[in-house]
């Protein structure tokens, strides 16, 4: 007998790290606060109407502290609370039919189904995570045009632009506990497979543009395998191998909701969370959520260098904020642009690109010995080592002892040689 599909209830960024345990009884949900019990293991338990329980891991992005997101350079510089927001800080309740009707009106290619699992994620976004949603609505102005351009270039559904909300909470510096990095949370091997350069100085997974195009190529490849967008999203989370195993265990059916019980615990919440993210990013005003006000950054352009340069050199000569340069060029892990390895692009405010070109000799020369301290050539110290008198005495004594030992050994050997051959010769003559 197949398992009942288990109900889920949590995701997204929160005002503080949160772990929870959720216990439900069929469709009869009690007050949300009473359902959620904090759990130290970063997981929660769902119980179906028959009393069957299953532990489900939270997607990691829900642990991101809102304060840390607001301390990012773009957030501090270009986001602020909307002082004109007149909405009450109250989350209205709606009927099942209203949610179904709104989801059906979303302009999407992908299936945006309603069920109790999706509802619990919507309630979490619109309830406890309201301020996180406010941040993400503001930060979306920085990143959504980049995501949409990459997805459109590969002919993918534009609603996939909300996947980084689940993956990273729109935190470009996000690094998971297993090393997935950036807005799209690429693992190192997968990132390299799709053209992202990763070494000691560069990590293209942190570059919003490069990572977005790589993610689009990856999802295009997954769609060729599964032919279903829900399965593509699930495979993006846990890998195509795990999805194939779940399909096999479910009897070969390619339906996310049919293979649901056979998926890894975190992946069971992934598609419902994605549907809820599409809902809340569209219908936030129905839940009295005000986006943070956004001032868009200056337009930018790039210059390409074929010599190593440190971001501190650029900041000092052009009198620019180093944090701004780091924000525009997050792929350079140690502030060093390795132009000598291969031509490398540096993103600058549009007005400063010509200033860089005019002052590049001064930039390359500024404090280069300290900031770019790797030596191209070094001399070897070929002086003969000297020792103290105590070490010499010790060495001589050791040598003398060895000589005496060697002499004694030679004497014993000589005696042995003289004695043994003589006996053998005498015996031979007697015979």
pLDDT digits (tens, 9 = 90+) for 120-147: 889 889 988 889 999 999 999 999 999 9
Q: What is the pTM of this model?
A: 0.77
pLDDT value of position 54: 65
Nearest partner of 236 among 196, 165, 185, judged by Cα: 185
pLDDT value of position 80: 93
Q: Which of 30-44, 167-181, 287-301, 315-329 has the highest mean pLDDT?
A: 315-329
Taking every pair of C-alpha atoms in the chain, what is the biggest distance, in angstroms? Answer: 127
For residue 104, give Cα distances in angstroms to 35, 201, 374: 28, 46, 59
307 burial level (CB within 10 Å; 0-12, 13-18, 19+): middle
Is residue 275 within 8 A of residue 113, CB to CB? The reply is yes
First to last CA, the chain: 97
Average pLDDT for 170-187 = 93
Q: Cβ neighbours of residue 78 under 8 Å, at least 6 residues apart? A: 142, 294, 295, 296, 297
Tell me the three state secondary structure of residue 300: strand
For CA atoms 216, 222, 225, 231, the dihedral sign is: negative
pLDDT value of position 20: 30
How is residue 24 written in tokens? 């439900």
CA dist 126 and 276 (Å) reads 10
pLDDT value of position 375: 80
pLDDT digits (tens, 9 = 90+) for 90-123: 899 999 999 999 999 999 999 999 998 899 889 8
82 burial level (CB within 10 Å; 0-12, 13-18, 19+): middle
pLDDT digits (tens, 9 = 90+) for 192-222: 999 999 999 999 999 999 999 999 999 999 9
CA dist 258 and 166 (Å) reads 22
CA dist 181 and 167 (Å) reads 10
CA dist 1 and 219 (Å) reads 34
pLDDT value of position 37: 34
CA dist 47 and 34 (Å) reads 15
Q: Cβ neighbours of residue 110 under 8 Å, at least 6 residues apart? A: 157, 159, 160, 229, 230
DSSP string, 49-107: TT--EEEEEPPGGGG-BHHHHHTSHHHHHHEE--TT----S------HHHHHHHHHHS-
CA dist 53 and 246 (Å) reads 19
Beta-strand (E) ranges in 306-398?
Answer: 308-310, 336-338, 344-349
């Amino acid at each position: 007998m197949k398992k009942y599909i288990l109900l889920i209830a949590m995701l997204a960024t929160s005002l503080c790290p949160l772990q929870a345990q959720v216990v439900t009884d069929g469709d009869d949900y009690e007050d949300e606060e009473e359902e959620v019990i904090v759990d130290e293991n970063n997981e929660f338990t769902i119980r179906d109407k028959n009393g069957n329980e299953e532990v489900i891991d939270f997607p990691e992005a829900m642990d991101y502290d809102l304060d840390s997101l607001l301390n990012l350079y773009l957030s501090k510089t270009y986001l602020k609370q909307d002082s004109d927001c007149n909405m009450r800080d109250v989350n209205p309740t709606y009927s099942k039919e209203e949610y179904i009707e709104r989801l059906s009106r979303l302009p999407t290619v992908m299936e945006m189904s309603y069920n109790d699992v999706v509802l619990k994620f919507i309630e979490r976004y619109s309830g406890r995570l309201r301020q996180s949603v406010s941040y993400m609505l503001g930060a979306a102005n920085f990143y959504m045009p980049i995501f949409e351009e990459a997805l459109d270039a590969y002919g993918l559904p534009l609603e996939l632009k909300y996947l980084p909300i689940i993956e990273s909470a729109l935190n470009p510096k996000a690094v998971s506990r297993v090393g997935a990095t950036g807005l799209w949370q690429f693992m190192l091997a997968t990132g390299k497979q799709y053209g992202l350069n990763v070494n000691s100085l560069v990590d293209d997974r942190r570059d919003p543009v490069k990572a977005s195009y790589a993610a689009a190529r990856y999802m295009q490849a997954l769609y060729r395998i599964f032919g279903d967008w829900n399965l593509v999203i699930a495979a993006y989370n846990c890998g195509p191998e795990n999805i194939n195993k779940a399909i096999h265990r479910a009897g070969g059916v390619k339906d996310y909701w049919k293979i649901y019980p056979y998926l890894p615990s975190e992946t069971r919440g992934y598609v419902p969370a994605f549907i809820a993210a599409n809902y809340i990013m569209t219908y936030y005003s129905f839940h009295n959520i005000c986006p943070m006000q956004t001032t868009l950054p200056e337009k930018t352009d790039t210059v390409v260098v074929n010599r190593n340069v440190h971001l501190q050199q650029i900041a000092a000569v052009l009198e620019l904020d180093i944090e701004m340069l780091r924000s525009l060029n997050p792929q350079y892990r140690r502030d060093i642009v390795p132009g000598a390895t291969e031509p490398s692009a540096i993103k600058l405010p549009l007005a400063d690109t010509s200033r860089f070109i005019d002052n590049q000799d001064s930039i390359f020369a500024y404090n280069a010995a300290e900031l770019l301290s790797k030596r191209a050539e070094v001399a070897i110290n070929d002086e003969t080592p000297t020792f103290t008198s105590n070490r010499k005495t010790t060495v001589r004594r050791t040598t003398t002892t060895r000589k005496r030992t060697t002499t004694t050994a030679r004497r014993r050997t000589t005696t042995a040689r003289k004695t043994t051959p003589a006996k053998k010769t005498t015996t031979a003559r007697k015979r």
